[in-house]
């Protein structure tokens, strides 16, 4: 089977000598090209000027491929591999746009090369190299074979060996071209270069091809003794091992690559813990400030008032009801005028619930600022979440207030059910029931007389207080006193559970937990834990690894 190859590199007769790599990309004819491997360095033309060179740093900023004995139609998957990078003709490459690459035929004969795609990569050691590093990494990861081209002035640069160390996981066959040596060679430089290799790589140092210094305008001469060096190198490519190498590389770097993602997951879990703590405290405050408060708790009193309607004596009930409405009309009108300008909810429980929600948001805002000062990683996560909480505060409180009103309305049948339980138990005690009915009539009559005497002013409390005191006293001292206490306790617990479920667990908690993911920041990955687990499972179970690019 014929093979296709690719080489890149940079040879400079004089002037600047970049630390760059030349890549060999070997493909089989008639098959989909394997997204092989590559390496870092500058472009080169081994026997012809297929790629331009310059002594200036940052001359090559785009990946440039040159076809040698390979048809371009055999590389149909190349655009998918390069992703957002656009394939252009070499003449259309623009230094102002770095997300491009080129692929063009090189028809001139090259006896030193097998059939291949020779990739000329951007450099990796210039000041501006960070701007076009993505194109460099994509090209290096594509090549099957690496040709590292360095001069004797540049081979000791740390950037060269950091890159070669990072490429170790690809296990690509490598050749080093040592450029600009003197006529007599320099065995000391070669030995030093080999020592540098052993410091960063575990495998033996690769073959080194010395390229002698040439005067201005002369092309470098490839040593005749190494005429088949690149061809021999291409035969070392082991395609069947590439999947295993790729898997080993992913396993090695996976924790390091995902460390900032895991940091976000930790911050998200910590945020959920803060939300749980604040909501738990809010529920305790709800029980203290409403359910167990001697003056604010109205729910059971409403249940007793509902039971009063059930105590009405047939025939007498309609007369008393009409009399009550007529005599309390002035008081009710005065209260309507007094409350017409108030925005507060007339329901004590709803007012308490809204205050608790506001307090939760204030607490969480303070905790976010504290965490931003304590935890530096992930960078800006807590500050971004604080901004998102502040921006969503108004809408969150509005939705919660509507939910609180809806809860209060939907809970009224439960209050009526408690009244029904008390009334049915009273029916089992006829003596107590008749005493309560008598008290109801007497107290209502006394209330009406008090209203007449007071002229209808300030009698609102007097109308209900004597009745409620008499009612609760009779119930507490009767045979169903313990049952009434149990009904009140059950109603409180049911009310507490309903508020926790309907308002805190179903409304407030999801809205607060979602605040963290709503933060907009370029520094965030926003990759969920479920997606990470799915990727890790695929990494373990699929022998071909993950499709990351």
pLDDT digits (tens, 9 = 90+) for 507-537: 999 999 999 988 878 788 888 889 998 888 8
Block residue for tokens 């040709």: 147
The Cα angle at residue 124 between residues 123 and 130, in degrees rounded to 5: 110
- State residue 39's pLDDT score: 36
Higher-confidence residue of 464 and 55: namely 55
| Res 437 pLDDT > 50 | yes
Cα distances (angstroms) measured from residue 391 to each of 44, 354, 511: 55, 19, 13
The region of weakest confidence among 91-100, 162-171, 354-363 is 162-171
- State residue 128's pLDDT score: 78
The region of weakest confidence among 10-14, 130-134, 521-525 is 10-14
The overall average pLDDT reported for the chain is 76
Higher-confidence residue of 446 and 218: namely 218
What global pTM score does this model have?
Answer: 0.65
* Structure-block tokens of residue 256: 């390091």
Q: Which of 180, 146, 136 is nearest to 11 (CA)?
A: 180
Cis peptide preceding 497, ω within 30 of 0: no
pLDDT band at 316 (very low <50, low <70, confident <90, very high): very low
Mean pLDDT over residues 91-118, rounded?
A: 87
- CA dihedral sign, ordered 420, 426, 428, 434: negative
pLDDT band at 132 (very low <50, low <70, confident <90, very high): confident
- State residue 57's pLDDT score: 66
Higher-confidence residue of 206 and 441: namely 206
| Res 4 pLDDT > 60 | no
pLDDT band at 63 (very low <50, low <70, confident <90, very high): very high
The region of weakest confidence among 50-64, 201-215, 395-409 is 50-64
Length of the chain: 549
Block residue for tokens 């575990």: 202
3-state helix vs strand vs coil in the chain, percent to 5: 60, 10, 35
Mean pLDDT over residues 436-449, rounded?
A: 53
DSSP 285: H
| Res 459 pLDDT > 70 | no
Higher-confidence residue of 96 and 344: namely 96
- State residue 433's pLDDT score: 62
Mean pLDDT over residues 21-47, rounded?
A: 39
pLDDT band at 464 (very low <50, low <70, confident <90, very high): very low
CA-CA distance, 229 to 221, in Å (whole number)?
Answer: 14
Cα distances (angstroms) measured from residue 345 to each of 341, 351, 396, 502: 12, 6, 18, 19
| Res 211 pLDDT > 80 | yes
Per-residue DSSP letters for 325-336? HHHTHHHHHHHH
pLDDT band at 440 (very low <50, low <70, confident <90, very high): low
Per-residue DSSP letters for 105-159? E--S--TTS-SEEEEEPPPSSSTTGGGGHHHHHHHHHH-SEEEEEEETTTTT-HH
- State residue 409's pLDDT score: 92
- State residue 455's pLDDT score: 45
CA-CA distance, 273 to 268, in Å (whole number)?
Answer: 9
- State residue 274's pLDDT score: 96
- The 10 Å CB-count burial string (b at 16+, else e) for 257-275 is ebebbebbbebbebbeebb
| Res 257 pLDDT > 80 | yes
Classify 315 in phi/psi space as left (phi over 0), alpha (psi -120 to 50) or beta: left
Cβ atoms within 10 Å of 114's Cβ, excluding its own: 23
| Res 65 pLDDT > 60 | yes
Higher-confidence residue of 453 and 121: namely 121
Q: Which residues make Cβ contacts (< 8 Å) with residue 120, sequence separation at least 6? A: 8, 9, 10, 22, 42, 43, 44, 50, 51, 60, 63, 64, 65, 66
Mean pLDDT over residues 96-116, rounded?
A: 86
* Structure-block tokens of residue 26: 């070997």
């Amino acid at each position: 089977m014929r093979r296709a190859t690719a080489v890149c590199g940079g040879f400079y007769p004089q002037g600047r000598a970049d630390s760059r790599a030349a890549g060999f990309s070997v493909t089989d004819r008639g098959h989909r090209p394997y997204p092989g491997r590559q390496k870092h360095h500058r472009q080169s033309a081994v026997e012809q000027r297929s790629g331009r060179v310059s002594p200036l740093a940052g001359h090559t900023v785009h990946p440039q491929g040159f076809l040698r004995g390979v048809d371009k139609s055999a590389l149909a998957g190349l655009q998918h591999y390069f992703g957002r990078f656009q394939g252009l003709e070499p003449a259309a490459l623009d230094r102002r746009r770095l997300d491009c690459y080129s692929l063009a035929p090189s028809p001139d004969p090259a006896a030193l090369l097998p059939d291949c795609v020779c990739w000329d990569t951007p450099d990796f050691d210039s000041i501006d190299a960070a701007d076009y590093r993505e194109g460099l990494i994509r090209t290096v990861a594509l090549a099957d074979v690496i040709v590292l081209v360095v001069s004797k002035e540049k081979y000791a640069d740390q950037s060269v060996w950091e890159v070669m160390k990072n490429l170790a996981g690809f296990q690509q066959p490598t050749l080093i071209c040592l450029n600009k040596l003197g006529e007599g060679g320099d065995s000391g430089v070669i030995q030093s270069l080999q020592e540098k290799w052993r410091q960063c790589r575990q495998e033996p140092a690769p073959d080194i091809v010395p390229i002698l210094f040439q005067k201005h305008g002369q092309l470098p001469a490839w040593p005749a003794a190494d005429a088949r060096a690149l061809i021999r190198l291409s035969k070392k490519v082991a395609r069947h091992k590439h999947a295993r190498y790729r898997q080993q590389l992913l396993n090695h770097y996976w924790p390091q690559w995902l460390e900032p993602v895991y940091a976000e997951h930790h911050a998200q879990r910590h945020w959920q813990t803060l939300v749980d703590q604040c909501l738990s405290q809010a529920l305790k405050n709800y029980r203290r400030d409403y359910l167990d408060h001697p003056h604010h708790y109205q729910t059971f009193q409403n249940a007793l008032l509902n039971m009063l309607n059930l105590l009405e004596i047939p025939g007498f009930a309609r007369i008393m009801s009409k009399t009550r409405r007529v005599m309390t009309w002035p008081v009710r009108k005065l209260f309507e005028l007094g409350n017409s300008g108030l925005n507060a909810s007339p329901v004590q429980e709803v007012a308490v619930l809204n205050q608790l929600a506001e307090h939760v948001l204030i607490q969480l805002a303070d905790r976010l600022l504290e965490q931003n000062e304590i935890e530096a990683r992930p960078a800006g996560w807590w500050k971004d979440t604080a901004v998102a909480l502040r921006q969503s505060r108004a809408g969150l409180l509005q939705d919660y207030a509507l939910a609180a009103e809806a809860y209060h309305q939907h809970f009224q049948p439960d209050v009526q059910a408690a009244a029904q339980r008390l009334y049915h138990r009273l029916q089992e005690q006829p003596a107590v029931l008749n005493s309560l009915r008598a008290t109801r009539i007497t107290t209502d009559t006394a209330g009406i007389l008090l209203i007449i005497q007071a002229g209808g002013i300030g009698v609102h409390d007097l109308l209900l207080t004597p009745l409620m005191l008499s009612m609760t006293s009779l119930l507490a001292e009767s045979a169903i006193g313990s049952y009434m206490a149990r009904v009140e306790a059950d109603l409180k617990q049911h009310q507490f559970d309903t508020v926790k479920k309907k308002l805190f667990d179903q409304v407030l908690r999801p809205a607060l937990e979602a605040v963290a993911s709503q933060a907009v920041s370029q520094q965030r990955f926003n990759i969920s834990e479920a997606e990470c687990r799915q990727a890790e499972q695929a990494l373990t179970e699929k022998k071909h690894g993950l499709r990351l690019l």
